């Protein structure tokens, strides 16, 4: 998306995208070199939430000035407070739903930087902390506006400390999809929504009123999140089936595009099972991710097989397994080891 915006006719949009891309590669390389295992033994005591929010004041000086730490009262800056609250929400979700102790399952402190750079059009996990831009005000709003985005970035950390999926091609698209899945589940959890009530949107509210679009991505209907040619010629390019998988050089091999395929599989599973999606569909995804069976170079098919095995182990041969098998088949991925 940013590569397309970097070629926009509007010079202000083009410049903001180009400057965002210029620093993103360095930050992602830092993530690739970050640790992927928790140091020492997993603590046996209770989970410990320790948040720190920093502010670079629209500069590149990471992590920036410390502006709010765990237990402090809200400040006057809404972005700081949103980041602080959403870090806590995501921590609580993983703790209460899956018994996980922070990102690394060993009480890793949660650090986030806000107001990074000027007109920075992104949010990301750099391997150690989360970074949120304010957006350029033309295409994007503040990247803390949607709870799913903050939870998405934290989940990149969870993936780093579990399967360690590489950020390229099909494996990178799986990495992105897992972050979308848990990003959406955190938002649903916070709102008490079941699978039918949820919007299944990632990045809702991030586009400014100048852009024709409701979100960055739709898990319910990949390819329908936005229609604005300025963001992507022809509108949202996400596929919902392997027949439409896109081989490309952009976006680390299409990691944000092809993620629509496993995203849609998860949506189909969650809605077929019904109820709160984090309880069964989400549990299957978490079990697969933490099973030790998903390698750093896992394909969609290999992850699908891991979800099938996780379903059998936890739920047996009933409705849940049928939902998993049918959903992967529906998106053109064979999740059955015997099929």
Q: Phi and psi (nearest 5°) for 261? A: -70, -60
Could you give the C-alpha distances from 56 to 47, 65, 124, 182, 295, in angstroms and in order? 29, 6, 15, 28, 36
State how beta strands 130-132 and 110-114 pair. parallel
Instruction: Clarify whether 256 is annotated catalytic.
Output: yes
CA distances from 262 to 34, 172, 291, 305 (A): 26, 12, 18, 12
Going through the chain in order, the beta strands assigned E by DSSP cover 51-55, 65-69, 110-114, 123-125, 130-132, 201-202, 217-218
Radius of gyration of the chain (CA): 19
Active-site annotation holder among 115, 153, 252, 309:
153
Buried b / exposed e along 266-291 (16+ C-beta atoms within 10 A): bbbbbbbbeebbbebbbbbbbbbbbe
Active site residue 322: no
Query: Using CA atoms, how far apart are residues 190 and 147, in angstroms rounded to an integer?
Result: 9
Q: Which of 156, 252, 256, 264 is catalytic?
A: 256
The two tokens of residue 155 are 């989940």
List active site positions: 153, 256
């Amino acid at each position: 998306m940013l590569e397309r915006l970097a070629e926009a006719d509007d010079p202000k949009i083009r410049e903001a995208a180009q400057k965002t891309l210029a620093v993103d590669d360095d930050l992602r390389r830092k993530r690739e070199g970050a640790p992927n295992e928790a140091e020492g033994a997993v603590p046996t005591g209770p989970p410990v939430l320790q948040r720190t929010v920093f502010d670079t004041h629209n500069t590149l000086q990471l992590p920036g000035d410390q502006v709010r730490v765990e237990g402090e009262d809200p400040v006057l800056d809404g972005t700081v407070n949103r980041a602080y609250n959403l870090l806590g929400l995501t921590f609580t979700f993983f703790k209460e739903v899956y018994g996980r102790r922070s990102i690394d399952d060993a009480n890793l402190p949660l650090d986030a930087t806000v107001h990074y750079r000027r007109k920075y059009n992104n949010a990301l996990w750099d391997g150690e902390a989360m970074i949120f831009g304010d957006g350029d005000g033309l295409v994007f709003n503040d990247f803390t506006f949607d709870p799913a985005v903050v939870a998405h970035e934290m989940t990149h950390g969870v993936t780093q400390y579990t399967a360690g999926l590489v950020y390229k091609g099909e494996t990178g698209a799986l990495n992105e999809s897992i972050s979308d899945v848990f990003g959406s589940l955190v938002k649903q959890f916070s709102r008490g929504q079941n699978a039918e009530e949820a919007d299944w949107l990632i990045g809702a509210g991030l586009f400014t009123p100048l852009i024709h679009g409701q979100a960055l991505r739709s898990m319910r209907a990949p390819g329908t999140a936005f229609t604005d040619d300025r963001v992507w010629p022809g509108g949202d390019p996400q596929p919902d089936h392997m027949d439409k998988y896109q081989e490309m050089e952009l976006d680390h091999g299409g990691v944000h595009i092809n993620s629509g395929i496993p995203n849609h599989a998860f949506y189909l599973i969650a809605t077929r099972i019904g109820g709160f999606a984090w309880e069964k569909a989400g549990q299957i995804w978490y079990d697969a991710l933490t099973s030790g069976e998903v390698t750093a170079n896992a394909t969609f098919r290999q992850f699908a097989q891991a979800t099938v095995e996780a379903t059998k182990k936890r739920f047996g041969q009933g409705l849940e397994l049928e939902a998993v098998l049918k959903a992967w088949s529906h998106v053109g991925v064979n999740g059955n080891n015997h099929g």
